[in-house]
A and B are shown apart, each in its own frame.
Chain A
Amino acid sequence: MHIAEGFLPPAHAVGWTIAAAPFVVHGARAVATEVRRNPESTLLLGAAGAFTFVLSAIKLPSVTGSSSHPTGTGAGAILFRPPVMALLGTVVLLFQALLLAHGGLTTLGANAFSMAVVGPWVGYGAYRLTRALTGNLLAAVFAGMALADLATYVTTSLQLALAFPDAETGFAGAAVKFLGVFALTQVPLAIGEGLLGVLLFRALISNARPELVRLGVLPAEPDDVLPDTPAPAGTSPAAPSTDDGDGAHR
């Protein structure tokens, strides 16, 4: 999903940068607010960023005979809501643009829009929808992680089709061509990313229950606040942290 440096015409590069910038600024404020209000979130925020960092570094073979990398943005979107990933995803892309010549500064806006904005929001939507329909947390995590990954690559395909429409078939023909390069290859990777997300959340459910309850991922159950299990400082099971966030971000 990395559009290479210089491979978007200037008008498109500027346009996508303008489109992505408010999300990234908003995301930076969301991260700052989260850390200030809930300092104990820092650890999980680090985990969400690290998950994206490691997954987007690894290129994996796919059945189509090409290789591509997962994005890992769904985990942070599910835990902290999508705005946080607008910043964390962009940091990863900046690292790769500066040190690895992977992606670029002129295409950072377009790449951030696909990986750090569209991916997390689609993944979060799929997570909420699956959760509401099935009530199963891990099934929802799988759907959220896999679709965040796939949606990122679909967005890249459409961005390239907009910039380089086919001479005869126009935007639609170019979209089919770029989707053929990106989306098909990505399907097994998205499934793998969904499975990795399930592994991550299984580990978090058994080890980070207080955080998951506070973030609204797990319901606050009466036996979670047994007097003999001291809650960490600042954790208030009654705090409606997600509802508060819903209002602020929409």
Chain B
Amino acid sequence: MTRRHLVTALLVLAVIALFAAPLLLDGDAGYAGTDSQATAAIEESDPGYRPWTEPFFSPSSTEVESGLFALQAALGGGVLGYVLGRLRGRRAARDATATPTTAPVRTAPEEQDRHR
């Protein structure tokens, strides 16, 4: 079990490091969104262009907007966590019922190593 957990921890750390590194190395960069940079590039290269439609609904403040983005992430994270939790619970229940039999019960590390 420990080797599997170590690999998981290293993967999580690598993801965090990947996104923390730019902030630590160059905290002064603006980190503007690429979507708005593309819009700015269009306005620069083609000053005559006028957007011909407006968003159907625009959040009135950046606070409201970031709240809605957080809501989107929370909905996605919530559903993902629910599914993974259910699947894990199902496996735990199956392992519990399978244990009393004579057949050797495969353990998690074996399973993992075979497919690494």
A binding-site residues for B, Cβ under 8 Å:
1-7, 9-10, 43-44, 46-47, 49-63, 65-68, 95-102, 104-106, 136-138, 153, 156, 160, 164, 166-167, 174, 177-178, 181-182, 185-186, 188, 191-192, 195-196, 198-199, 202-209, 218, 223, 226, 228-230
Shortest beta-carbon distance, A216 to chain B, in Å? 14
Minimum CB distance partner of B43 in chain A: A7
In Å, the complex CA distance between A3 and B53 comes to 13
- In contact, B46 and A164 (Cβ under 8 angstroms): yes
B55 touches A104 (CB 8 A): yes
Contact B106–A223 (Cβ < 8 Å): yes
Q: Assuming A54-B80, A223-B106, is B57 touching A160 (CB within 8 A)?
A: no
Within 8 A of A (CB), among B1-37: 4, 7-8, 11-12, 14-15, 18-19, 21-23, 25-26, 29-37
Tally of contact residues, B, Cβ under 8 A:
70
Known: A57-B69, A207-B90. A101 touches B55 (CB 8 A): yes
A222 vs B36: C-alpha distance in the bound complex, in angstroms? 53
Closest to B89 in A: A207
With A50-B76, A198-B11: A61-B23 Cβ-Cβ less than 8 Å: yes
Contacts of A50 in B (CB 8 A): 75-80, 83
In the docked arrangement, what's the CA distance between A9 and B53, Å?
Answer: 10
- How many A-B residue pairs lie within 8 Å, measured between CB atoms? 206
Residues of B within 8 A of A10 (CB): 52
Look across to chain B and name the residue whose beta carbon is closest to the beta carbon of A45: B83
Which residues on the B side are within 8 Å of A208 (C-beta)?
87
Tell me whether B22 and A63 are in contact (CB under 8 A): yes
**Can you name 28 A-B residue pairings with CB atoms under 8 Å?**
A1-B34, A2-B35, A4-B51, A6-B52, A7-B42, A43-B83, A44-B83, A46-B79, A52-B76, A53-B72, A53-B73, A53-B75, A60-B19, A65-B26, A66-B34, A66-B37, A67-B33, A95-B72, A100-B69, A106-B53, A164-B49, A186-B34, A192-B15, A202-B7, A203-B84, A204-B87, A206-B108, A206-B111
Chain B residues with Cβ below 8 Å from A195 are: 11, 14-15, 18
Q: A104 vs B35: C-alpha distance in the bound complex, in angstroms?
A: 12
Contacts of A66 in B (CB 8 A): 29-34, 37
Residues of A near B73 (CB, < 8 A) are 53-54, 57-58
